[in-house]
Structure formats: structure tokens, C-alpha cells
């Protein structure tokens, strides 16, 4: 399939304005660019929702913010929960850049979405962000009444670099359960255009290295700031795709984009999970680019993609489906179908 015409126009606009992404030196430049883009393509606070509130969570050497989104509909004391970790290469992104997506995910899935404002590099390099994510998961699962969630129906979700965190949390929780009955249990993992092998050189990485919004130079600079010198990029906490086994991980919902440099990684991850008996659903969104799901004002299909995700998650957490669609279970090798 060709590039979606709205996505193509967006890329042409970036190029014409001289704002096509590339290597940067100032991390604030990277953060500001993403924040300005979010304000343009999906301004925070514009999606009607049942309610939003903030919660402050103490963590090692500081604190982080959690933002709790409740879906539209009659108030409920207890709903399924979804911890969400935003993308941005572990150096950029915020609760604000993904506010619209979190609101839509809450409305479409029926979950209380708990967005985690984990700390970013370079001030807080790896593994700070992962440690914050682990602390948030444990705190939320152990304090369900604070968040109004069902502790046995809590999933993790993330896009791009946040997808890495979500995938790694699933492995950490599974491994912790062998030593402690109090380890958090994860009901599902939702990975949207995830980065799963930071050192990978897949065909998509090579073919889409530049000109498709998130380019290789930006990723390499992100890694320089995020990963301390001497750290192996093959560490499964950075590259979960490189793990040797994938047994007993939570059911996965993996969504990739055809023109995303990380698309091959998402599909390979689905194959590895399925090979170890893990339930895998998902879709390769044809014609789409990285971050499309956060750009409904520029790429209208973003709304449909989130509706598709919502239907999948509603089935997973046993909630009524808002609008019936035909969804078959997708075998890992058919994720492009």
C-alpha cells in the first residue's frame, strides 16, 4: 500500500518548513519540537472524558506524576486499569504530548488509564525510567482503591519508547512472580509502534532511515543520551526482542505502522510471543507512519486506529464492546494481514 495521503502531506509540510527530524544537540530542542507538534495535531485537553485527576508518587531520589483518566459514562467505583508510558525516545514526551491519546484510549477501552510521567534522560538515564515504571506498576496494583481499578484487570501500554518500557515490565513482573506471591500481575500488554531492539538493523530500519518522521539520526542521539557508556544495547531491558524465551508473558496487542522504521521489530516480537504460546492480536496499519496515532487533526485514520484498539482491549478485559467489528485472532505470521 502507498503512503497515506494525509501522512504524505504531513511529511511534505515538515520538509518544506525545514523541520524534518534529524540529529540534534540540545535535548530541549527535541522536547520543544515534540510538544509543539502535539499542540498542533492533537491539542491536550480537547477530548471530552469522564474525569481527569493527578496523583504524586514518591520514587527513589524524587517523585513522579501519575495522571488518571476516567472514561465517559456513568461513574464507576471500579474499572479495568491501563498504565500508559509515553514515547519520545526516553528523552522527550510528556503527559501533555500524549494527553489526547490517553483520553481516547480511556473512552474507547473503558479502562481507567493511568499515564506515568517517568523521568527522562539525560538527567535521568537508563535505568531510571524503567525503575519509575516498575515503581508505578507496583504502587497502582497494590493500591487499587486509590485509582478505582480492578487489580486483576490491569494492563500496561506504551508507544514507541514507552512500548519498550511496557514490554520489559511484563518480563519483570513474570520473573518477580517466581519469587514473590505479591508481584504485580499484568492482564495484557498494548504496544503501539514499539522500539524493541535498540541496536537493530532490520530492513525497515534501513529502508525508512530518513524521511518518515522519526529517522535514524534522531534515534541514535536519543540512545547516546539515554544509555550510559559501557551498557550493552543487547540488554533485554533495552532490547526485549533479543530475549531467549517469551513464555508466560501477558496477552499482547501489537500495532505497527507500514512506514515506521520499527515495524519489523513489532512483527518479530509478535512471532516470538506466539511461538511460546502467548496470545497475540494486532494490526499493521497500512500507509501509516510513526506517531500517526497521536495526530488525528493531521491524519484522520488515527481515530479509527484507536477505535480498533479499544475493541480489542474491551474483549480482553471483559467489557461490553461499543461497536461490533469483525476481529479475528491474528497469528503472529499474519500480522500484516
Q: Give the chain's mean pLDDT.
A: 93
Q: Note the pLDDT of residue 200.
A: 86
Q: d(Cα 268, Cα 131) in Å, to the nearest integer?
A: 26
Cα–Cα distance list, 11 to 31, 194, 215, 304 (Å): 19, 21, 12, 20
Q: 60-76, pLDDT tens digit by residue?
A: 899 999 999 999 999 89
Burial of 133 (C-beta count, 10 Å sphere; 0-12/13-18/19+): buried
Instruction: Kindly report the number of other CB atoms within 10 A of residue 82's CB atom.
Output: 28
Residue 13 neighbours by CB under 8 Å, 6+ apart: none
DSSP per position, 55-119:
EEEEETTEEEEEEEEE-SSS--S-EEEEEEE--STTTS--TTTTHHHHHHHHHHH-PEEEEE---
Question: Do the beta carbons of residue 288 and residue 4 sit within 8 Å?
Answer: yes
Which residues share a beta bridge with 59? 62
Residue 324, pLDDT score: 42
Bridge partners of 56, per DSSP, are 65
pLDDT tier at 205, thresholds 50, 70, 90: very high
Dist. CA 225–CA 266, nearest whole Å: 24
Is 206's pLDDT higher than 50?
yes
Ranking 16-20, 92-96, 241-245 by mean pLDDT, the lowest is 16-20
Of the given ranges (137-146, 243-252, 287-296, 328-337), which has the lowest mean pLDDT? 328-337
Cα 196 to Cα 27: distance, rounded to the nearest angstrom: 22
Say how far apart CA 158 and CA 87 lie, in whole Å.
7
Compute the C-alpha angle 289/81/308, nearest 5°.
Answer: 35
Max Cα–Cα distance, the chain, nearest Å: 56
For the record, the C-alpha cell of 154 comes out as 490491569
For 101-116, what is each residue's pLDDT tens digit?
999 999 999 999 999 9
What are the tens digits of pLDDT across the range 185-203? 999 999 999 999 998 889 9
Q: Active site residue: 160, 222, 239, 255, which one?
A: 160
- DSSP string of 123-177? TS-TTHHHHHHHHHHHHHHH-HHHHTEEEEEEEEEEETHHHHHHHHHHHHHHHHH
- Is 160 part of the annotated catalytic residue set? yes
Q: Is 231 helix (H, G, I), strand (E, B) or coil?
A: coil
Give the pLDDT confidence score for residue 287 in this predicted structure: 98
Domains and CATH numbers, the chain: 5-327 (3.40.50.1820)
From the list 260, 263, 281, 285, the catalytic residue is: 260
pLDDT band at 21 (very low <50, low <70, confident <90, very high): low
* Torsion sign over Cα 69, 73, 78, 80: negative
pLDDT value at 331 more than 50: no
Q: Is the bond into 127 cis (omega within 30 degrees of 0)?
A: yes
pLDDT attached to residue 179: 85
243-270 mean pLDDT: 98
Query: What is the arithmetic mean of pLDDT over 269-281?
Result: 98
Start-to-end CA distance of the chain, whole Å, equals 12
Known active-site residue 290: yes
How far apart CA 57 and CA 135 sit, in angstroms, is: 9
Span of 17-26, 30-39, 233-242 with lowest mean pLDDT? 17-26
Q: Answer positive or negative: Cα dihedral of 263, 291, 66, 82.
A: negative
- In the three-class reduction of DSSP (H, G, I as helix; E, B as strand; rest coil), residue 233 is classed as coil
The answer, yes or no, to whether residue 325 has pLDDT greater than 60, is no
**For the segment 22-62, what is each residue's pLDDT rounded down to a tens digit?**
678 899 999 999 999 999 999 999 999 999 999 999 998 99
Distance CA 81, CA 130 (A): 19
| Range 229-233 average pLDDT | 95
Q: Using a cut of 0.75, tell me whether the model's pTM lies above it.
A: yes
Amino acid at each position: 500500500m502507498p503512503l497515506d495521503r494525509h501522512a504524505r502531506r504531513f511529511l511534505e509540510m515538515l520538509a518544506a518548513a525545514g523541520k524534518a527530524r534529524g540529529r540534534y544537540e540540545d535535548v530541549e530542542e527535541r522536547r520543544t519540537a515534540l510538544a509543539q507538534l502535539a499542540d498542533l495535531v492533537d491539542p491536550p485537553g480537547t477530548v471530552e472524558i469522564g474525569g481527569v485527576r493527578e496523583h504524586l508518587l514518591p520514587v527513589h531520589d524524587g517523585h513522579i506524576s501519575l495522571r488518571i483518566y476516567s472514561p465517559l459514562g456513568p461513574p464507576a467505583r471500579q474499572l479495568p486499569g491501563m498504565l500508559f508510558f509515553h514515547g519520545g525516545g526516553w528523552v522527550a514526551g510528556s503527559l501533555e504530548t500524549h494527553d489526547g491519546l490517553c483520553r481516547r484510549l480511556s473512552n474507547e477501552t473503558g479502562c481507567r488509564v493511568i499515564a506515568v510521567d517517568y523521568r527522562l534522560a539525560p538527567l535521568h538515564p537508563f535505568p531510571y525510567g524503567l525503575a519509575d515504571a516498575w515503581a508505578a506498576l507496583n504502587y497502582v496494583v497494590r493500591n487499587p482503591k486509590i485509582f478505582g481499578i480492578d487489580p486483576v484487570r490491569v494492563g500496561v501500554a506504551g508507544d514507541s519508547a514507552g512500548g519498550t518500557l511496557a514490554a520489559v515490565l511484563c518480563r519483570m513482573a513474570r520473573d518477580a512472580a517466581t519469587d514473590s506471591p505479591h508481584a504485580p500481575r499484568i492482564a495484557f500488554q498494548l504496544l503501539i509502534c514499539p522500539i524493541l531492539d535498540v541496536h537493530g538493523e532490520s530492513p525497515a530500519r534501513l529502508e525508512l532511515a530518513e524521511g518518515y518522521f522519526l529517522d535514524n539520526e534522531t534515534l541514535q542521539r536519543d540512545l547516546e543520551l539515554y544509555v550510559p557508556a559501557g551498557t550493552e544495547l543487547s540488554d533485554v531491558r533495552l532490547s526485549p526482542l533479543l530475549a531467549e524465551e517469551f513464555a508466560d508473558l501477558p496477552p499482547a496487542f501489537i500495532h505497527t505502522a507500514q512506514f515506521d522504521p520499527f515495524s519489523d521489530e513489532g512483527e518479530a516480537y509478535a512471532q516470538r510471543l506466539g511461538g511460546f504460546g502467548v496470545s497475540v492480536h494486532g494490526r499493521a496499519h497500512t500507509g501509516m507512519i510513526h506517531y500517526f496515532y497521536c495526530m488525528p487533526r493531521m491524519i484522520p485514520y488515527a481515530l479509527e486506529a484507536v477505535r480498533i484498539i479499544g475493541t480489542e482491549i474491551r474483549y480482553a478485559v471483559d467489557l461490553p464492546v461499543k461497536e461490533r467489528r469483525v476481529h479475528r485472532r491474528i497469528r503472529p505470521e499474519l500480522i500484516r494481514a
